[in-house]
Amino acid sequence: MTIKKTYALQNLGCAACAAKMEKKIGALDGVQACTVNFMTSRLIIEGEEAQLPRIAQEAGRIVRRIEPQASVKL
């Protein structure tokens, strides 16, 4: 089953970085759609419900790799 989940991003400081995050997270296995909204500091992932915990963990690593001070509030 596909579901959509919204996560808060903390300390997101760069719109270009948000675009990079969106592209990399969107390419993860099991992700059907991904949106990173810089203005609202929100990460929206649409994907397989069973895989969402793994996807969220990987998304957190991607966020920190691109912008070390930023994090995903799970």
Q: What confidence score (pLDDT) does residue 31 get?
A: 98
Q: What is the chain's pLDDT, residue by residue, as a tens digit (74 residues)?
A: 999 999 999 999 999 999 999 999 999 999 999 999 999 999 999 999 999 999 999 999 999 999 999 999 98
Residue 27 sits in which domain range?
A: 2-73
Q: How many whole angstroms separate alpha carbon 26 and alpha carbon 3?
A: 14
Q: What confidence score (pLDDT) does residue 20 get?
A: 97
Number of domains in the chain: 1
Q: What confidence score (pLDDT) does residue 63 get?
A: 98
Phi, psi of 15 (to 5 degrees): -65, -35
* Start-to-end CA span in the chain (Å): 20
Instruction: Give the domain CATH number at 26.
Output: 3.30.70.100
Distances in Å between the alpha carbon of 22 and those of 16, 42, 70? 10, 11, 14
